[in-house]
Amino acid sequence: MNDASPLDAPWALGERAYAQVLRHLREANVHIIVELGSGASTAALARDLPSATILSVDDDPTYFAKTRARLPADAKVEIVHRPLVWQRHGGAPYLSYAPGAFPDEVDALIVDGPPHWTRRGREAGLYQVMPSLKVEARIFLDDYRRAPEKRIVQNWLDAYPGALRLVEVIEEGDHVAVLEKTAEAESPRPSAARSADAWLQAALQPLTSRVRRLALRARGR
């Protein structure tokens, strides 16, 4: 692999991890992909899966404009801006992408946003997209090496008992959790523990404003 690849830049998925994600996508013969958090992987997916339709969501219009500039002219990619807003799922609060429409019969969901400073914002992504995912759809969560992402996966499994399973952990880069939707399930099951934890994260979120500024500066936004 090329050491200078954009996929190996900070905040990106990483070439080795991306190669494993791509393997899963090809094995599943995906046609419709939803990506939460645009970037180098968006352009790579458009290049490597030219027949797939991709909806990529980002909260920063400047950043997704940069992503759009990387895309091939004939890419079947729609990049949409959805600002971060507070929302509730299963009785718990999350700061995540504003709810919006998703395609029907989604084959794969890639969760690499919103930024880590939202604390549990990535968890809400599956709650938004789950009704649109096909049975046997694959879900990928980047940064699974981190404790918050491990908690997110456990919360997903608790929220959809019998409808999700953890398939694999890709131990490349910052690790990627791979899950599969195994049955229809439209609403996350309420959980007192998950709700209490999310409320605690919401209370702590204002303290992360400085972290956010530093993160955006490091990302070059």
Over residues 102-115, the pLDDT tens digits come to 999 999 999 999 99
Q: pTM of the prediction? A: 0.85
Q: Coil, strand, or helix at residue 10?
A: coil
Query: Is the confidence at residue 176, as pLDDT, over 80?
Result: yes
Question: In the chain, what are the domain boundaries?
Answer: 6-219
Which of 187, 13, 21 is CA-nearest to residue 109?
21
Task: Read off φ and ψ for residue 111, nearest 5 degrees.
Answer: -110, 105
Q: Tens digits of per-residue pLDDT, 112-169?
A: 999 988 888 999 999 999 999 999 999 999 999 999 999 999 999 999 999 999 999 9
Could you say which of 3.20.20.140, 3.40.50.1780, 3.30.300.30, 3.40.50.150 is the CATH number of the domain covering 6-219? 3.40.50.150
Query: Is the confidence at residue 208, as pLDDT, over 80?
Result: no
